[in-house]
Structure 1
Amino acid sequence: MIDLDGKRALVTGGARGIGAAIAVALAESGADVAFTYQHSTEKAEVVAKSIGEKGRRAIAIQADSANPEAIERSVAQAASALGGLDILVNSAAIGLSGMIVDINVDDYQALMDINVRGPVLFAKAVIPHLSDGGRIISIGSGLAERVPFAGVTAYAMSKSALLSFTRGLSRELGPNGITVNLVQPGSVDTDANPVDGPAADFQRSLSSLGRFGKPHEVASAVVYLASPAASLITGAILTVDGGAIA
């Protein structure tokens, strides 16, 4: 079992889906966990309770990942409550479907604010708290590298930005012993993309394993990258998609 005892993590978008699974998995490995959420108050309470039941501290912070001031506040609150930060997981994101010719400009801007600017600003705020051995891990998407159907261009573009962000930031922070990596899930069974959804059969057909992933399978990859076992891995992309982009 990976040992993160004494580590302090901040997970953005940690009340639902993959983010919630990551927050709980980090706690299972011994980390104290702060996590942000925007609207899912009841789900945030469930995640916080689950973390507490594992004997770890849980800090639930309501924050809009599209708001720069809220990002700075949430990082300061997490660092103060936990006595510092060692791990940042950028998980907060929104989806946007539709053809580019039909896209609403406000919706597009919200997508970019949360999916691209959010991770950058969270990292900017967290970096001063990190020391040698610190970790920044972002959650991308296999659509960043392969777009096998129409209607997700803007979303895929927002996730592809994390490729360059990860690689570039790894160069900036490497001299400080801080690693920066990206986990790219494929189709994962969440409220936003359920295993019995209208496009589920098509998504399964893209996977070598022929199935959806589970949130805990993505979380396991994040826990590994957050651990000392991954100390030489930085600027890397770990794709967890059952072979969909193989």
Structure 2
Amino acid sequence: MFETTLPVIQGAMAGIADANFVVAVARYGALPTLATYGVTPVQLRQALHQIRVQTQQPFAVNLMLQQSNWPALAQVLLIEQVPIVSLSAGYQPELVQRLHQAHVQMIAVVGSLQQALKMAVLPIDCLVLEGNEAGGHVGSTPRATLLAQVQSQVRQPLVVAGGIYQAGQLKAALQQGFCGVQMGTRFLLSQEANLPFVMKQHLLGQHPPLQPTQPTLRGLRVQGQLIPCGTVAAHIQTVQSLATIMAPFKAL
């Protein structure tokens, strides 16, 4: 998938999935995703250059379409010829056509059947079906329900997301006809993630509730700060290295 060793995508996490983290994840065969939420065009260009100096492995860049400066960020992606772009939290068909004309591979993150059907008629290469078990901004549909609703309705390869943290879940997804999985919280609770260790410790073993924000957000308040994270946190007891986390996936 996207010329990576493993059919695993690292989900974009604002403030966490920076250039250093992208390079770290790339070492272990997954497709890393650079987050751009809260980033300026200049900072994005610097991050892209930093990544390319350190790795030749594939990586994606997420464009969250609710942020006001997405057009300027999109222009940077086109100028820098970023080969894989992940789109989330919005619907911009003209942008999709521009990226397609520039031969950019596109991933669309969707949280409902309606969103999936809207994106499926566009030249999108892959749909990430994100259940509401995921962290960050989520829809209202649980993963299992979303998969059942969408799988027979679209032509694109489908990636499973929301509550994914074990290699066995990847194996099951592949057996069910999906092309891979996306994980966010599992990567968040790694040693390499750009989050203070004390905050990671607070998240371990916790079940982050849905927060009544617009749009709905799943996360947990730690020291007065809302950390977006998913239900996976309830299953993780220790902060581990990426090498340890990814070893079972490589063993499949």
Would the TM-score normalized by the shorter structure come out above 0.5? no
Greater fraction of residues in helix: 1
TM-score, scaled relative to structure 2: 0.42
- Where relative contact order (Cα < 8 A, 6+ residues apart) is larger, the structure is 1
TM-score (normalised: structure 1): 0.42
